[in-house]
Amino acid sequence: MKNSPILIIGKNGKTGARVNQRLQALGYATRAVSRSTTPSFDWENPATWAAAIKGTRRAYVTYQPDLAVPNAEAAIKAFVQVACENGLEHIVLLSGRGEEGAQRAEKILQESGISWNIVRCNWFCQNFSESFMLEGILAGELVLPAADTVEPFVDADDIADVVVATLTQPGHQNKLYELSGPRALNFAQCIEEISEALGRPVKYTTVPVDDYIEILREQGVPEDLQWLLRELFTVVFDGRNSNVARGVEEALKRPATDFKTYVQKTIESGVWTAVEQRQTA
């Protein structure tokens, strides 16, 4: 089985890249795909799917931008059919906590007859350092429509460790793991911890969601991501995901990574200081 490549859909994603790196370090052959790879994989072009799947037996599947978007359910249904036709035996699906659309997509996989895992996650810590919130932190002010709702942000390194376990170790098949960090924080508290650790002020400003979406539109953010962020900030951030989940402990038999640890790792990486260094060079 180690020589049959493990398919990773989302080669350049926050979790896909980490899963690929870990599997290769363990000696597993991988086939990490995206729209720019050969073979390519494009969620919007089903004709690319079979070639990407062929010859693999296990897969880690991430849907872009998120399983909550309206097109995801139909895409996962079609993908699972192609997977069955092309010999995939086990699929690990990245999902989101508290998202009804995502849960409909999960159910399709669970009822497919293929061995499965669902890795259902809170918001990633890495949204502050590898995604749409990075620019605000570098600029010294993060603008968001969220206010006081708390979220136990999960570290993408924890997600990758759980995914690798479900792909390579016995005893995990057909289980759903809900992943979060060990501590729930609101955005203001997150920024306070980041600012304190950085040793420089980062301001947190809240705006009405319509104003926020207009900012995204002006920045050229894709419409499906605009839709997703509106959905998250107006529907999902109602407290439904505020409780701490225990999936990291269940799958890995170790505690989930705390937000402070994530902040320290990120500072050491230089991501939040890259602009400062360029300006003073």
Whether 230 maps to a domain, the answer reads: no
Q: For the segment 10-26, what is each residue's pLDDT rounded down to a tens digit?
A: 999 999 999 999 999 99
H-helix or E-strand containing 3?
none
The pTM (predicted TM-score) of the whole model is: 0.94
Number of domains the chain contains: 1
Whether 72 maps to a domain, the answer reads: yes
Whether 25 maps to a domain, the answer reads: yes
Q: How far is CA 196 from the centre of its chain?
A: 26
Whether 192 maps to a domain, the answer reads: no
Whether 45 maps to a domain, the answer reads: yes
Angle formed by the axes of helices 259-269 and 187-198, nearest 10°: 40
Q: For the segment 113-139, what is each residue's pLDDT rounded down to a tens digit?
A: 999 999 999 999 999 999 889 999 999
Whether 193 maps to a domain, the answer reads: no
Whether 195 maps to a domain, the answer reads: no
d(C-alpha 173, C-alpha 170), whole Å: 7
Whether 281 maps to a domain, the answer reads: no
| 60 strand-pairing partners | 8, 92
**Mean residue pLDDT across the chain:** 94
What is the domain range of residue 149?
A: 6-185+238-276
Q: For the segment 23-74, what is each residue's pLDDT rounded down to a tens digit?
A: 999 999 999 999 999 999 999 999 999 999 999 999 999 999 899 998 999 9
* Domain CATH number, residue 140: 3.40.50.720
